[in-house]
A and B are shown apart, each in its own frame.
Chain A
């Protein structure tokens, strides 16, 4: 098979890394050959190629595009004006002036409610009959506001913005009243609101949803991709004909198992780091989201996370040793990673069980470093301290070694026995 240029560049890139590993590993002489073997396998598997090339690109860009509006703007709000006074029109204009709300007039309440039930508007504001008259005569009229809290994010935002707009409009009315009673103008503003408040969003200063939501979503996607790439590559070893060998490398599972795993890590780590780097470059260099720390730190944190993902997948692989089960188990473990990151719902409000489950997922460790580097501009010492939270995974390594030495020979034996019955093992051709 002819080698493509891209394949050769990959080989060249991975050489310096190999040299460093050579000194440490006893079976190192064949490590380059093993990496070549992985490359050939990768080249022949269209799904694996898709997983490292266009799927991440499409996924990252689509998810970003989905949230690309960034700031919720012009959310439709139903106005039912039963008062038809100068005051109610002034308050409607007040709502129109707010960038978040876009008032839509409804003549009766029932049609406004129906529109809200169909999610065409996200809130209903009712100005009652005789509102202005009641206000002037000292009766206390009530403005009813209903917001759609089934869509929690939109509902909460609208609730605070509508209150802000209406409150501001009403202050103007009260100001006129004070002026009429002869209060000096300079005193009116202070009388109305003696305590002003200034609310500042620290770090994500303009409350941008891209900066808030997109990084954890993309990290969750990246974790899924890394898991799948490694699981597929390991699963491939299960389907090879143990009796055959390929360019002098035996296809038997137990033969050179650790060098083979090392070769996979050497090949896939740079590829996945490229994807991780692309996410960071897209968000913080191209889109220029606010960024306080240094990208190099984040890349390092990504590398550690990737190595932990590898070891988790390897653990599940030696435990299950069946391709469908490895994939299902990894899926079950990693699919809910986003919910457990603690970005949308704060970590310290989760039940204890959820907090423990959260620690199993590498992404929740990474996202803490991500937030502290991006928002707080954390430096090496903080990062090192955060990375130490991975310590529990170190215990996984001897466990993997133990299970691999105990269980893998069993699988090989079982496969050999099965091979005596059906002559041909499963082909690994894609789709």
Chain B
């Protein structure tokens, strides 16, 4: 059997095995829709806010209108006390509260400082930050207006007053993910992880189902088998990866900075290392239902340790070092640097070489593992 016949046999074995076909073709398609589904609206807007207005003045009403005008906030009503407002939050009808103190307008006009209180439900961080951002900007706006009126009343030239208020401009702009959207944040890393996990499951199930019975796998040398199997999965995953990185990234509005050639060059050792890791891992199993379970359980830890959800600087060092052996971990970080943040090829080169190193390591382990399986089967048949 030459290599191409072997690849063809492998492809047949993959497609005719229902469990693998469902995981690869069904899983990859299904997850490409399901995972980003909750995040399609990108940014939380119009969070419900309840107002406790103890002042009842023209200025407090203006402040409420300003808050309501903010894209992040929707004022749903006013109540008489903070305890009542808290009830609204506990029942989920509101997510934040604004307290305007008694004498708000009078104190301001008299030139005494006043304090506005905002409260947000920090059990949900994204809501909390949206409410806080919206209210702080509305409050600052109101403050500036009062200041301006005060200065004009003191007889200052309007232009000078304006300049006194904003003497320095703070130009704070998000880089890389300009819309601060949620899918451009989650999708690039998550989709590489889905490719990684399904590829490992596919190779795992295929191997686990074969080791206990004679078939084509022991008629070729372990080296040939590993090459043939990796090649067969590479053929399938080239299509999947093109679909994910090409079409889905575009569809989910992920910002893209690297060229096609560089991305392809980056993904090549990732897929090779993952396929080799899958073959190596598959020699540990003889039960077909186990690879899926093991990989399901470790997918959440891999996602968090890869460093785009929770900054790597804060993850304990041993976990970061230990996770470097998983192909997805350097691949996700490198891909983000290269494709989403526009780093130069030279700066991601160490990670690229690391992926090649992982490929060599797992390739060797795969050959050793298959040799062990050949011996085990021979012993089983002999006894």
Contact = CB atoms under 8 A, between A and B. Distances in A.
Q: Do A and B come from one complex?
A: yes
Interface of A: 47, 51, 55, 59, 62-63, 65-69, 72-76, 114, 116-119, 122, 124, 135, 138, 140-156, 159-160, 162-163, 166-167, 170, 173-174, 187, 189-191, 193-205, 207, 209, 212-213, 217, 220-221, 224-225, 228, 232, 235, 323-325, 327-328, 331-332, 335-336, 338-340, 342-346, 349-351, 353-354, 357-358, 371-372, 374-376, 378, 430-431
B300 A338 contact: yes
A174 B166 CA distance: 10
Nearest to B37: A354
Interface stretch (B2-10, B23-31, B225-233, B352-360): B23-31
A31 to B, nearest CB: 27
A153 B312 CA distance: 12
Please provide the 3 A-B residue pairs with the shortest distance between their CB atoms, ordered closest to farther.
Answer: A195-B143, A149-B174, A201-B122
Contacts of B219: none
What's the interface size class on B, roughly?
A: 35 or more
Contacts of B301: 59, 62-63, 66
A156 B147 contact: no
B289 A323 contact: yes
Contact of B123 (A200, A212, A431): A212
Contacts of A75: 311, 313
Contacts of A55: 297
7 contacts: A148-B176, A163-B172, A173-B167, A195-B114, A199-B132, A200-B117, A200-B120
A203 B118 contact: no
B347 A118 contact: yes
B118 A325 contact: no
Given A51-B293, A66-B301, A146-B173, 8 more contacts: A63-B301, A117-B344, A118-B348, A156-B180, A202-B122, A225-B297, A232-B289, A349-B45
B300 A116 contact: no
A148 B175 contact: yes
Contacts of A195: 108, 113-116, 139-140, 142-143, 146
Contacts of B126: 344-346
A158 to B, nearest CB: 10
A114 B176 CA distance: 13
Given A63-B301, A224-B297, A335-B299, A325 B22 contact: yes
Nearest to A201: B122
Given A150-B185, A195-B142, A142 B169 contact: yes
Given A155-B174, A204-B122, A335-B299, A376 B90 contact: yes
A252 to B, nearest CB: 22
